[in-house]
Amino acid sequence: MPLKLYQRPNSPNWYIRGTVKGVYVHETCETDVRAVAEEIRAKREWEILQSVVHGIKAGGTFEAAAVIYLENGGEARFLQPLIDHFGITPLDKIDQTVADDAAKRIYPGLAPATLDRQFYTPLSAVINKAHQHGPKGFCSPVKFKRPKKPKGRVRWITHAEAHKLIEACAPHLRPLVAFLFYTGARCGEALWLDWRNVDLQRGEVQFLDTKNGRDRGVPLHPDIVAILANLPHREGEVFRKPGHKITKWLPSGSNSGELIETVEYTLGEPYAPLDPDDERDVSAGSRIKKGFKAACDRAGITDFHPHDCRHTWATWHYRQNRDLNRLKELGGWSSLEMVLRYAHLNVEDAAPSIHNMPSIGPAPATKQPGQNVSPARRKAKKGAAA
């Protein structure tokens, strides 16, 4: 349909909406004068026709780009605040300065990593997908400079500490924490793992639709196979919240008629998925945070969080195998740079290169003549010499 003018109930300004030669337009004229708005409408329509004939850039709005993004498989999470802010802002007006200013207005005071995840990533995704799937000349691709993040934290513990932590976990949490330590799974990959993706006979697990968009398989340690085999169910999510306690009194089997108290637990509910409408709900590990912290306290382990199980697994794996490419593949990292930090933690293999360096000669004396001699002895020595 051609471009038309209309007014919104809550604004005196005129707006343009319509499609010309496949280019969708929805933007404000920024005027309440009908005659001026009509000139802007006619000029905008002429620009689009020129873009079709001569390849001159026409451009679209953020609101229209968001529609294209969602229609082509884009994720709605974190999108609404951007739509509310940018609305019908032309995409060619959203540069680095405009983006940085919007980030501060929409999410004041957020940490760089959170700002990157909730603002810059969806903003870039919307515009770039609109460039890919929108009409010709709709917009150009973008690459925004992201806020600088602090150096990543790597906290890991020893095998003995991990064993102590697993033993300190509540019964429902123990299999999950052991699984995290021995597969390197991200918390979300483990919490919502379905039995359909676990093969106990072959001893392997498949993680689907992971953080970097690629599926991956990981062999299971024999101890983990045994732990999973002892779980009471084989359908739905593997790991569950604690079930309800049921106490029963059963006959002891003797002729005395004595009853024995037995305790059973019902199958717990699955962990709740992330809420796409809650911008604060971004961490799968928050589902087990309280129980995990209590287990760490009982085990005497400080400054250790659920995601640190993945750091621990990676550190163990590299120490045992010295294979960064294999570690990258099994852990599902997107680049070798991401796994180099685990190599930096393991320096034992560098010891020979240090030990083989030329000697600097005999070690210097640790005491000089006369050192640690009391004043009385020093005076006596002088008298003897005289």
Report pLDDT digits (tens) over 280-289: 666 788 899 9
Q: Summarize the confidence of residues 60-65 as an average pLDDT.
A: 88
Q: Which domain holds residue 261?
A: 159-348
| E strand or H helix that includes residue 159 | helix 159-168
pLDDT of residue 96: 94
Angle at 172 between CA 170 and CA 175, to 5 degrees: 100
Residues 122 and 199 in one domain: no
Does residue 355 sit within a domain? no
273 occurs within a structural domain: yes
Per the rule left: phi > 0, alpha: psi between -120 and 50, beta: everything else, 263 is beta
Based on the fold, state whether residues 63 and 129 are members of the same structural domain.
yes
pLDDT-derived band of residue 228, with 50, 70 and 90 as boundaries? very high
Instruction: Tell me if 59 is assigned to some domain.
Output: yes
Pick the range with the lowest mean pLDDT from 65-74, 178-187, 297-306: 65-74
Say whether both 198 and 52 belong to one domain.
no
Q: Whole-number mean pLDDT of the chain? A: 83
- What pLDDT digit, counting tens, does each position of 104-147 carry? 999 988 888 889 989 999 999 999 999 999 887 788 899 999 98
Asked if 173 and 104 sit in the same domain, the reply is: no
| Pair (247, 336) in one structural domain | yes
Residue-wise pLDDT for 311-328, tens only, equals: 999 999 988 888 889 999
Q: What is the maximum alpha-carbon separation in the chain? A: 119
Domain end: 118, 133, 148, which one?
133
How many Cα atoms sit within 13 Å of 346 on the Cβ side?
21
User: Is 70 exceeded by the pLDDT of residue 207?
Assistant: yes
Same-domain check for residues 43 and 181? no
| 144: number of Cβ within 10 Å | 18
Residue bearing the bigger pLDDT, 203 or 60: 203
123 plus 219 within the same structural domain: no
pLDDT value of position 357: 66
Domains contained in the chain, number: 2
241 domain-assigned: yes
Percent residues over pLDDT 90 in the chain: 44
Most confident of 17-21, 196-200, 240-244, 349-353: 196-200
pLDDT at 154 over 70: yes
* Within a domain: 28: yes
pLDDT tier at 56, thresholds 50, 70, 90: very low
- How many secondary structure helices (H) and strands (E) does the chain include? 16, 8
Find the CATH number of the domain harbouring 207: 1.10.443.10
String of b and e for 261-294 (b: at least 16 CB within 10 Å)?
eeeeeeeeeebeeeeeeebeeeebbebbeebbee
pLDDT tens-place string over residues 251-266: 766 666 677 777 777 8
Q: Would you say residue 324 lies in a domain?
A: yes
25 & 174 share domain: no
- What are the tokens at 86? 């940018």
369 or 334, greater pLDDT: 334
Give me the pLDDT at residue 257, please: 67
Specify whether 59 is located in the same domain as 192: no
Q: Regarding predicted confidence, which is higher, 270 or 366?
A: 270
Same domain, 126 and 167: no
133, 149, 183 - which closes a domain: 133
**Is 52 part of any domain?**
yes
Q: Which of 317, 332, 348 is the last residue of a domain?
A: 348
Domain shared by 91 and 174, yes or no:
no
Residue 341 neighbours by CB under 8 Å, 6+ apart: 152, 154
Q: Is the pLDDT of residue 373 over 70?
A: no
Residue 378 lies inside a defined structural domain of this protein: no
Q: What is the pLDDT of residue 189?
A: 94
Same structural domain, 194 and 49: no
Tens of pLDDT, residue by residue over 14-48, are: 988 888 877 777 888 889 999 999 999 888 888 77
pLDDT of residue 346: 64
Tell me, what's the pLDDT at 371?
53
Which is it for strands 198-199 and 23-28: parallel, antiparallel or unpaired?
unpaired
Mean pLDDT on 360-364: 60
User: What percent helix, strand, coil does the chain show, rounded to 5?
Assistant: 45, 10, 40
